[in-house]
Amino acid sequence: MTDSVNWVMSKSSHVKDNVKSDKGCKTACFVNVNSVNLTVDHPELKVSLNNADRCFADGSGLRLAAKTLGINIKDNVNGTDMLPHLCEAAQAQGISIYLLGAKPGVAIATAKNLRKHYPTLRIAGAEHGYFDRSQDNNVVERINQTNTGVLLLAMGSPVQEKWLQDNASKLTCNTALAVGGLFDFYSGQISRAPMWMRELGLEWIWRLMQEPKSKFKRYVIGNPLFLIRTFVFNCASRGF
Ligand code: UDP
């Protein structure tokens, strides 16, 4: 988590495939079980994730899948846990944050809540994520005019990753981060799972209980499907 936050805050130009580019901002996404499942129906999401400068491993599903490949993921780096660290670092370094996404009013409520905890944090702007794609250039212009350091983009997958793919080269901020439903938590719209559930990797059960209709496919069907896909992938890559 510390390495990831340092990377987000660092002013270095972005590096992709060992090629340094000064065009646009560097981009990062959080990859979890749902994002991997979504790449099956949305192959363009896989392209966007592979094009991001960083993909952070979010959640116990990815940890488990990585383990079957002999990889030990160092830490669970999800947006909800990262935000307090980011705000602390941004406040200490005088770097501003722009909040873009979620339903009207939610980004502003998030900004207000963050200001309560981080009184000198500079929030460069806050706006909702339900705009027509023909407005992309205007949105980019508004963000650029604030000279923000970090953009948090909370429009859900695969919309946010596609938006970054299309617009990152025009953004003048240092880093843009796709953070999914983050503002819904920090605005107080949805409460987070108790710590013991998070520690056991069971936060998804909490989210399912809170939004059973919209999260049923994602968790009840998606989690076993991910495990089956991991098994099939491993068999195929071992030549079975
Ligand atoms: N959203 C948005 N614009 C859109 C579609 C969705 O800003 O065009 C927001 C939505 O209001 C919610 C977030 O994106 O706040 C998606 O949350 P979810 O938990 O589904 O995202 P995930 O964490 O799974 O990527």
The two tokens of residue 90 are: 């941004």
Q: What is the mean pLDDT of residues 75-97?
A: 96
Residue 18 in this model has a pLDDT that exceeds 60: no
- Of 12-21, 80-89, 222-231, give the lowest mean pLDDT range: 12-21
Please state the pTM of the whole predicted model. 0.93
Compute the mean pLDDT over every residue in the chain, rounded to the nearest whole number: 93
d(Cα 202, Cα 190) in Å, to the nearest integer? 16
- Look at residue 71 and give its three-state secondary structure: coil
Residue nearest to atom 10 of ligand 1 (CA): 102
Q: What is the mean pLDDT of residues 226-232?
A: 95
Query: Quick check: CB of 61 below 6 Å from ligand 1?
Result: no
Residue 40 in this model has a pLDDT that exceeds 70: yes
Atom index in ligand 1 nearest the CA of residue 218 equals 24
Residue nearest to atom 11 of ligand 1 (CA): 102
Residue 37 in this model has a pLDDT that exceeds 70: yes
Q: What is the mean pLDDT of residues 4-19?
A: 76
36 contacts 116 by C-beta, under 8 angstroms: no
Quick: pLDDT tens for 200-228. Answer: 888 889 989 988 998 999 999 999 999 99
Query: Quick check: CB of 103 below 6 Å from ligand 1?
Result: yes
For ligand 1, mutation pick of 35, 127, 155, 211 (most atoms within 8 Å of CB): 155
Residue 124 in this model has a pLDDT that exceeds 60: yes
Residue 76 corresponds to which amino acid?
N
Query: Quick check: CB of 100 below 6 Å from ligand 1?
Result: no
Percent of the chain with pLDDT over 90: 83
Is residue 20 very low, low, confident or very high in pLDDT (cuts 50, 70, 90)? low
Q: Which residues pair with 57 in a beta bridge?
A: 31
pLDDT score for 22: 63
Is residue 9 very low, low, confident or very high in pLDDT (cuts 50, 70, 90)? very high
Give the other-Cβ count within 10 Å of 75's Cβ.
13
Alpha helices (H) along the chain? 2-9, 33-41, 43-51, 60-68, 79-93, 106-117, 136-145, 159-167, 182-186, 195-199, 203-210, 212-216, 222-237
Q: Which pairing describes strands 54-57 and 26-31: parallel, antiparallel, or unpaired? A: parallel
pLDDT score for 238: 82
The two tokens of residue 21 are: 């580019």
Residue 8 in this model has a pLDDT that exceeds 60: yes
Query: Quick check: CB of 107 below 6 Å from ligand 1?
Result: no
Distances (CA, A) of 60 to 18, 20, 190, 196, 205: 29, 32, 21, 14, 12
Is residue 77 very low, low, confident or very high in pLDDT (cuts 50, 70, 90)? very high
d(Cα 174, Cα 18) in Å, to the nearest integer? 18
pLDDT score for 237: 86
Quick: pLDDT tens for 180-205. Answer: 999 999 999 888 889 899 888 888 89
Residue 100 corresponds to which amino acid?
L
Backbone angles phi and psi of 94, in degrees to 5: 70, 30
Sheet holding 54-57, edge to edge: 54-57, 26-31, 175-178, 150-154, 97-101, 123-127
